[in-house]
Structure formats: C-alpha cells, structure tokens
Structure 1
C-alpha cells in the first residue's frame, strides 16, 4: 500500500477537551503533518523485535498456545481488541480472540508492581471476536465480526458469566465505545458499505433493552451536521445497514474510542480517521489517506485506536509498517513503535494501564503469519501525562 497521509482536524471545542490541551483548540484550522515524535526517533529493535524511543522497554506477556507465566491459562489464538481495567492496586488486560467457533475472551491480571498473578478465560465458544469496548461499569463488550454477529458483555474479573446482548444489534461488529454523558454506546460495522450506530439503553448500565439507531448523512459527506434514525429490526434480518433510508456508508469500520464529547473511529477501506462531535451531532474527517501531503507519511492501514492520559491518539496499523503511530495535541503525526519481522500480521488491542504508564498490544499472527502465533506485548516508559 502506498503511504499517503493528510490530517485535518475539524471538531471544535469538544474535541479540544477530548485531547486535554489548548493547543488542539488553537490548531483546528491547521493541517497536521508528519514531524518529530515528542518521544524522539525509534531506536534499533530490542530483543523482542520492537523498535521504541529511548528510555522505553518492551516485554512479551503472552504467546498464543502457550501458558501465561505463573498461571495455568493457555493464551488464546489471534489476540485482537483489548482494554485495561483497574483491579485494586493492580489491573487487568482483557483481549479478544479473532478465530471462528471458539473465539472468546481472555484476561491477564497484574499486581501493583506489574507482575502477572493470574490469567483466565471470560468468554467461550463465540466466533471471530474482533474488537469491542469498555463500559463505565467495568465490563468488556466483545464483538463478533461475522454476519449477524452479537455483542457479548463480559466480566474482565472472571466472576460473572458473560451475557449476550442482542438488543445492541446483529451485524458484522467491530468496535464500540461508551459515551457516559449522553448514555449511549457507539458501534462500528466492518463491511465496505457499513454504518455507524449508537445504542441507547432503556436504563444506563443495563444493556438488555434499548434502541439501536444508525447515523444519517450522505455517502460523500466528510464534515457537518448529521442525524440519527432508529433501526426497526436490530435482529439483522434484513441487514441492519439496509433498513433505514439515508444511512451514511462507511468503508470498513474499525477502531472506536470516546473521550470528552468526541467519538473517534477508523475506516480501513479508505484509510480514514473520523471524529463524531456528540455535543453538536456533527462529523469531521481527521485523517484521509487519499489526500497526499509532502514528505513520507508515517501512518497507514488505520485500525484500532486508543488515547493516552496526555490526550494523544495512538493508532495501530493493520499491515503498513506494523507500527503504532501517535497524533499529538499540536498536530504532529509520528511513529511511536514498530514491530519488526511480523510482516504478515497486524497490530491489535492497544490499551493503556489505568495509571497510563504501560501500553499493551498484540501482533495478531506473529512472525509466521498464523493465528496460532500471536504475541502480546507490554511497553513501559515515560509516557506523557
């Protein structure tokens, strides 16, 4: 894939709050360009094959088909979307398994010092669990990326049984993100003519019943106001994306992350990052690979997305250079890390520990391009706060 890049920030006010810095507000009329990372250039690959900035280190916490250290749990194949949850003085990293029929979710538990103390299964025998999202009530929503797939609400702590949530719609799910201000959950759909949805529970905190809506706008629209309409039959027969006239199409919905009034989501088919301004019900195009800027763009193959405590977006690549790139609040786009020797894989599941000091992610298919060869990493270092 040719590496091309153009970043344009077009969400005012709420987006600035989402990134926690006045510089975002001041720069909305500008265009972001590749530039030096605030962490400095990438160094030579370490013993784990990861190129990082100075003063950062990596470790491998799990490999598909092998027991997680100090536990009896065998790490799942094809690790995909993930999130971190506070657990007393420690935390938990939860990860999907994107394989057919057995899919599911696994978790790794850490103590306050970052030592692995447990690992276990929290969902079994689902299919192609791709991404998902964390809820404010500390559950993990695991999404099936199959036709008429379900969302499953799981317990990262391994205490409560997972629950299927059909009211959230049956379609080829990718990711979701909870908006506690408006009490809705946004969802992406991974098909070339997919849609962007929101689920409005009857009672916030209970996903058993509610209303599924789809975003309305023209297919060519990349900015401006949008509206929502209810999907009559969330059961997906006929397909949810075909039930409502005027539903806006997005080319292969991928990652989804909400912060302070803005839901950021990516589309892999056209290599874009979008921003939905929830307060004003408008969209903007933040990144578009078809618009070429001078120089060598550092980001392509947009996929999963997360956010640091400093307000930087971290965007994982599916293919590309196998990098996680960051977009800073002063509109610099730069590689943060690169996984070397994993050319047939993709980076999945980026998530920060609750204290913001550790970043977790996976190479889904490892060095041998096999779902049985996934590798899950932890990066530690002086992340900005």
Structure 2
C-alpha cells in the first residue's frame, strides 16, 4: 500500500471517471474565479448559477428538506431529475426535483420519507437511487427517482454506518463504504442483478480475500466486527466505480483508495492517470474551502466554484444533468451554518463545460 499526501474531500462527481484525493495545485481549464455573484457563488467567466431549492421553502409545491446531502441525476424524457438526500435525524430521507427540457422545475416530491441521517448513496444502472443512513445500524434504501414506487430497505446489504455505494455492472456487485474510524470496505453480490432484495454481503480482509459477513442484517451485532481479519479504513467516504476500478476515500487520513476488481489489488492513488476513463473530474471539498474543484488530466487541481458566506457549511451532492450541461450541488447548512441544516441551498451551474 502506497502512502499519499492528502487533499481532503467530502464528495465527488464524475463524468466518465472519478478523482478524489491527491493532486497538484495549478490553474484550471476554465480560468480564474470572478467575484461572487448574487448567490454568493464565485465562478469562472461564462458560467452562471441559480438557487433551485432552499431548505424550508417551497419548490413546485414541496417544502425542500433540511441539510441537503448526497445526490444524483437521472434521465426523464426530454428533461431530468435531481435526487437529494437529507442528512437530518428521524426526518431525513430524500426528495426529487423534476426538470423540464428548458431547465424549469416542473415537479418536486419525496422519494424516501421518515429515515435518518441520509448522507450519501449512489445511483444504480437501472436508474434507482440507493440512499444510505449514516447511523450505527443504518440501512440502504432503494428509491424510485420517478416517484412511482415506494422506497424499500435492502437489509441484505448490511446494517452499519453507511456512507456511499457504487455499482460494478461487469461483475454484478455493489461496493459499499462505512464511515467509522475502524470501518470496512464491503461488496454485495445480489442473487439476481437489478434485484437487491437477497444476496451475499462480503467484507475485504487483510489477506486480500472477500469473506462473507455472517449476519448482515443484525441490528445489534456490529457488521464490521463479524469477520475477525477484516481490513480497516479510517472513515470511508465517497465511492465510485469505472473501468474495472472502484475508488473510495477515507476522510480520517485524507486518502483515496483504488481497488482493482480484476486483479484484487488495493492501493492508495498518487497519480491521477491511475484512474482511467475519459471526462471531467469535479470534487466537492470541505475543511473550510467551500469549493467545487476541477482536476485536470495533468493532475492539477483548481477551484471551479467557491461559496462565499457559507463558512460553516459544506458542499454536497454534486451531479451533472444527463447531457452534462448543468451541475447541481448543495451547501448543506447554507449561510447561517445552522447545524440542523435549516438554511440549506441547492444550486444549479450552467456554462461552457468541457467534455
């Protein structure tokens, strides 16, 4: 395992691939940031923003949830849908914004009610949203972004402090991260792909093998302690799969890990080129910077957007619309920084994004 110099990050959006971790500081491909606009968002020339939803205020008839967190976009005819988690206790869950072809919000609705501390998650290849509870016996809920089917818990995927998930359609497995200082890295092998009701939950061990978790749905027997030689990670966060590589971060030590599904090799990433694939790499950084950064193919990192006046918040849920023309993300606690997230802002940025 290789050492790395950390760039702390809390969430990642990728078009084609993902990067979260070490990179060199440099000038970005979009140029310097201009002074903050009326939304308090500093962007490069040619880009504009708008606030599409605010916590506690109605959007298309729905009162937008507090503490907007992880999110993803889904196609919807000529338009698209942005789903956002709510990281609050007991009343968390997830909501959706439905956009028309011209970008107008035409509908908003809940896709998951009454769950707790829904932080991150991930989209599936069959266009559902996996919303994860970040609690000691948290669950994964499979949600319908289109609002036609009720969300369902997928208990076979384990009860632990879930953070993020990533689907590997080639091997038909789902990778899961755990936000504990001694957490684990898991994979779920469903009995039938695209049906997450039943299957085997496995944990990566110190020897590099995957071992079955005996009681994944046990509410009081911690999942991470059920396999004695499970490999430990310090607060795993964002997770993404592309081109045979599952990448995930550990926020406790600021590392990004790369797991090769083909070879079983696990290492920390030091070179941005190690993550293959084409497209843009954007990372939402916490730790006081309140920036969405872009990481170039040359391995340089530069701010793409900076929130001013949101110093006690954190950016979350970055995702591109299906056509890649609009970037969505939230300021979880907004300008007031209220811990309850009652001033959360959800943004849309448009402009000359590059492929």
Fold similarity call, TM over 0.5: yes
8 Å contact 2:31–2:44 — kept in the other structure?
Answer: yes
Please say if 1:363 is aligned against 2:331: yes
Q: Provide the C-alpha distance between the structure 2 equivalents of 1:6 and 1:353, rounded to a whole number of angstroms.
A: 29
From 131, 136, 144, the equivalent of 1:142 is 131
Tell me the equivalent position of 1:43: 34
From 21, 30, 34, the equivalent of 2:25 is 34
* Distance verdict in 2 for CA 1:110–1:310, change over 3 Å: farther
Unpaired segments ≥5 residues, structure 1 = 8-16, 25-30, 219-225, 289-306
Q: State the 1:38 CA deviation.
A: 1.1
8 Å contact 1:18–1:262 — kept in the other structure?
Answer: no
Tell me the equivalent position of 2:344: 374
Tell me the equivalent position of 1:322: 290
RMSD: 2.2
Q: State the 1:284 CA deviation.
A: 2.2
Q: Provide the C-alpha distance between the structure 1 equivalents of 2:105 and 2:122, rounded to a whole number of angstroms.
A: 23
Q: How does 1:151-190 map to 2 (within 5 A)?
A: 151-190=140-179
Q: Which has the higher contact order (CA 8 A, sep 6+)?
A: 2
Q: Provide the C-alpha distance between the structure 1 equivalents of 2:142 and 2:315, rounded to a whole number of angstroms.
A: 24
Deviations 1:159-190 (A, max 9, x none): 00111110000000011111111111111111
Q: State the 1:5 CA deviation.
A: 4.6
SS at match of 2:323: coil
8 Å contact 1:322–1:339 — kept in the other structure?
Answer: yes
Q: Runs of 4+ in structure 1 displaced over 3 angstroms?
A: 4-7, 17-20
8 Å contact 2:5–2:255 — kept in the other structure?
Answer: no
8 Å contact 2:16–2:278 — kept in the other structure?
Answer: no
From 353, 357, 360, the equivalent of 2:321 is 353
Q: State the 1:99 CA deviation.
A: 0.6
Tell me the equivalent position of 2:11: none
TM-score by length of 1: 0.83
How many residues matched? Answer: 336
> 276-285 or 51-60: which moved more?
276-285
